[in-house]
Amino acid sequence: MTDAKIPDDVGKMKFEDALTELEGIVKELEDGKVELDGAIEKYERGAALKKHCEAKLTEAQARIEKITRNAGGIAAEPANLD
């Protein structure tokens, strides 16, 4: 699923909502109480949510880089997110 297109419902989610759902899926899978078929479905959903969250973070980083100002006006610099 990681190479597949992000489902429309996931693609429309806010970052925070997607991250919250992803955290819930991880907890359910870690608890080990999900049957195999359900675990596979949850894993696929989680992979899509992870991909969406990563895309949102990359987009935010790009926006931050564009906003960086210097003495000569607006200039793009790599964002230091560490």
Does some domain include residue 68? yes
Does some domain include residue 1? no
Summarised one tens digit per residue, pLDDT across range 41-50 is 999 999 999 9
Instruction: Give the residue ranges of DSSP H helices in 1-82.
Output: 8-11, 15-31, 36-67
pTM for the whole structure: 0.76
Does some domain include residue 31? yes
Does some domain include residue 57? yes
Does some domain include residue 82? no
Summarised one tens digit per residue, pLDDT across range 25-75 is 999 999 999 999 999 999 999 999 999 999 999 999 888 877 765 445 666
Does some domain include residue 51? yes
Q: Domain limits at 17?
A: 8-74
Q: Total structural domains in the chain?
A: 1
pLDDT given at position 71: 47
Q: The CATH number of the domain where 44 resides is what?
A: 1.10.287
pLDDT > 70? residue 82: no
β-partners of residue 71 are none
pLDDT given at position 63: 82
